[in-house]
């Protein structure tokens, strides 16, 4: 069998002829980013073989080879992740409390005795709020006595290295080996983050008693090692429904620690959105509020004077920089904002990189919006011909592989296929919002406020969202960016135990709108593709 020798880290693996470099890497325990689940579409798994960059998932091994891996360590360190979201005032009434007895401290959970600790430990009561995003993880260490978040940690969700979006992860984890991989890399990452938190703060792990997992339905299944395959086939029935507790032994915290899973609405509207409903007080607001979490899934809630309807559309990974020719995550070197003023083009790059190396999601939407506004991209999504454009923008239109592309720098460009990916992603979210409104007998003009949630959403601009048509023109001046409400909602679940039963009751009353089953969905989706 041929031998594949890897460098940085150094390792080697014999594999049968006809297997790929990616196969060899996985057998070695080496992680190569392949968010498209090795179907060859994302271009993110490139390695160097004989000095040539090739996709590891497509390079078939027939003889001994040496492979040099790309180093993304600095990229991951510079990831921009929002750890906080809009919150509200509430009474501190935590789930975990302590009572001092004779030489012992009683630990209570939800008013029930969990056990005793030697001595007086009443001053040390901590909990973890965890936002399990499809792309990122955020953990907050909270002092439940004061209600303060004393430290946070964030990282790339390592599951994204195997499959970028929810459907890809369901497919990957629908067999025991895949599920084991998804669960184990998550636990390993979480353990590393907890170790960092405790080291920075001096808090002992055995003084952490309560954990909330706030994530979409698929992420909860993978975090709890529950087979997600039923989420990928009709009638899309989850095996976890939230509003329940899980064993926390894997996290090596207090022996009394448990994990709380907030209730979920459906297979594709999960606990992260329920945390958002709580944090944004959607069930209490007067008027009409449209809450949208923009990411690989476009999850949304329509609140009308306390009545809630929720839905989800598959936006795909374009907004995370995937399936984009020069796409990347929001890390060092990424264009994060872009503008055209007359003949002058300007952009901002994350970090201290002198030149851009790619485009992240917020930059992608800005670029598309500005090119649409200036006529470089037409309403159908096609690039104009250079002769049809005045000024310097025409000089930036060049051909790549026989098709037109717009160049921000000599190395970074937006291709015609990239524009199509943007159209598909924004069209899915716009279609979902339009149909959710129609199902409730409303139109865009009836909306009083649009709340854009999520770490990605926090970096967007209202102007760009409206220019590309992700939001209708009637929403101008009504958009509020509320940040990571999954995280702030998770903290609220920790700090006031009453929210657990309250949100279970609210979720039972949420109308779940399955847009894909609507006979008009396909036609509406096509209508929403144009700029």
Give per-10-residue mean pLDDT for the chain (531 aa): 81 86 82 69 75 82 84 49 68 95 94 95 97 92 95 90 87 96 96 97 97 97 98 93 96 97 96 96 96 88 96 82 83 90 90 85 94 95 89 89 92 94 94 93 96 81 95 96 93 96 97 85 92 91
Q: Which two tokens stand for residue 187?
A: 């636990």
Q: Which two tokens stand for residue 146?
A: 């004061």
β-bridge pairing 358-359 and 334-341: parallel
The structure tokens 């339009």 sit at 434
pLDDT at 409 (0 to 100)? 92
Contact 479/452 with Cβ under 8 angstroms?
A: yes
All structural domains of the chain:
3-71 (3.10.20.740), 96-273 (3.30.420.480), 279-316+427-527 (3.30.420.40), 318-420 (no CATH)
Contact 227/173 with Cβ under 8 angstroms?
A: yes
In degrees, rounded to 5, the angle at the alpha carbon of residue 63 between the alpha carbons of residues 59 and 64 is 100
Contact 314/167 with Cβ under 8 angstroms?
A: yes
Exposed, middle or buried, 348 (CB in 10 Å: 0-12/13-18/19+)?
middle
- The tally of CA atoms less than 13 A away on the side-chain side of residue 161 is 21
- Residue 473: CB atoms within 10 A of its CB come to 10
474-479-485-486 Cα dihedral, nearest 10 degrees: 40
C-alpha 210/C-alpha 199 separation (Å) is 19
Residue 36 β-bridge partners: none
pLDDT at 81 (0 to 100)? 53
Continuous segment of H or E residues that includes residue 463: helix 462-467
pLDDT at 71 (0 to 100)? 57
Cis amide leading into 319 (omega within 30): no
Rounded to two decimals, the pTM is 0.85
The structure tokens 């003889």 sit at 63
The structure tokens 């899973």 sit at 261
pLDDT at 73 (0 to 100)? 46
C-alpha 88/C-alpha 86 separation (Å) is 7
Q: In the chain, helix, strand, coil percent, each to 5?
A: 35, 30, 40
- CA end-to-end distance (rounded Å), the chain: 53
C-alpha 488/C-alpha 140 separation (Å) is 10
Q: What is the DSSP letter of 385?
A: P
pLDDT at 265 (0 to 100)? 96
Q: Which two tokens stand for residue 528?
A: 């929403």
The structure tokens 């990571």 sit at 484
Q: What is the DSSP letter of 382?
A: P
Exposed, middle or buried, 44 (CB in 10 Å: 0-12/13-18/19+)?
buried
């Amino acid at each position: 069998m041929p031998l594949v020798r890897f460098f940085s880290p150094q390792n080697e693996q014999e594999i049968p002829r006809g297997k790929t470099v990616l196969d060899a890497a996985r057998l070695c325990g080496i992680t190569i980013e392949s968010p498209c689940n090795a179907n060859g579409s994302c271009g993110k798994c490139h390695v160097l073989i004989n000095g040539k960059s090739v996709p590891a998932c497509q390079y078939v091994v027939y003889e001994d080879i040496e492979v040099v891996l790309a180093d993304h360590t600095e990229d991951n360190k510079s990831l921009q992740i929002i750890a906080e979201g809009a919150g509200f005032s509430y009474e501190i009434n935590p789930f975990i409390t302590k009572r001092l007895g004779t030489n012992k401290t009683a630990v209570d959970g939800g008013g029930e005795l969990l056990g005793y600790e030697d001595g007086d430990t009443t001053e040390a009561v901590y909990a973890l709020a965890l936002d399990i995003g499809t792309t990122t993880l955020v953990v907050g260490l909270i002092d439940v006595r004061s209600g303060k978040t004393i430290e946070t940690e964030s990282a790339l969700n390592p599951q994204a290295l195997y499959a970028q979006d929810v459907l890809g992860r369901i497919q990957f984890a629908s067999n025991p080996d895949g599920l084991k991989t998804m669960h184990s890399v998550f636990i390993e990452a979480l353990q590393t983050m907890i170790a960092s938190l405790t080291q920075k703060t001096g808090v002992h792990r055995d003084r952490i008693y309560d954990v909330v997992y706030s994530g979409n339905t698929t992420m909860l299944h993978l975090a709890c090692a529950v087979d997600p395959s039923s989420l990928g086939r009709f009638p899309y029935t989850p095996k976890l429904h939230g509003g329940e507790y899980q064993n926390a032994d894997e996290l090596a915290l207090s022996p009394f620690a448990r994990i709380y899973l907030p209730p979920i609405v459906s297979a594709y509207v999960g606990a992260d959105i329920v945390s958002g409903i709580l944090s944004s007080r959607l069930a209490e607001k007067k008027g009409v509020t449209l809450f949208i979490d923009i990411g690989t899934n476009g999850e949304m809630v329509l609140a009308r004077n306390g009545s809630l309807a929720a839905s989800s559309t598959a936006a795909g990974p374009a907004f995370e920089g995937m399936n984009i020719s020069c796409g990347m995550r929001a890390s060092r070197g990424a264009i994060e904002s872009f503008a055209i003023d007359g003949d002058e083009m300007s952009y901002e790059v994350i970090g201290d990189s002198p030149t851009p190396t790619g485009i992240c999601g917020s930059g992608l939407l800005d670029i598309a919006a500005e090119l649409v506004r200036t006529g470089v991209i037409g309403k159908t999504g096609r690039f104009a011909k250079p002769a049809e454009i005045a000024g310097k923008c025409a000089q930036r239109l060049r051909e790549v592989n026989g098709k037109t592309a717009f160049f921000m720098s000599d190395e970074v460009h937006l291709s015609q296929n990239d524009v199509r990916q943007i159209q598909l992603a924004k069209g899915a979210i716009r279609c979902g919002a339009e149909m959710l409104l129609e199902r409730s007998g409303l139109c865009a003009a009836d909306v009083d406020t649009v709340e854009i949630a999520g770490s990605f959403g926090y970096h967007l601009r209202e102007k760009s969202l409206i220019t590309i048509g992700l939001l209708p023109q009637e929403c101008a001046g009504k958009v509020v960016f509320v940040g990571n409400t999954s995280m702030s909602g998770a903290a609220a679940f920790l700090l006031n135990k009453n929210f657990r039963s309250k949100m279970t009751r609210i979720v039972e009353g949420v109308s779940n709108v399955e847009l894909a089953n609507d006979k008009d969905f396909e036609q509406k989706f096509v209508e929403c593709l144009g700029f």
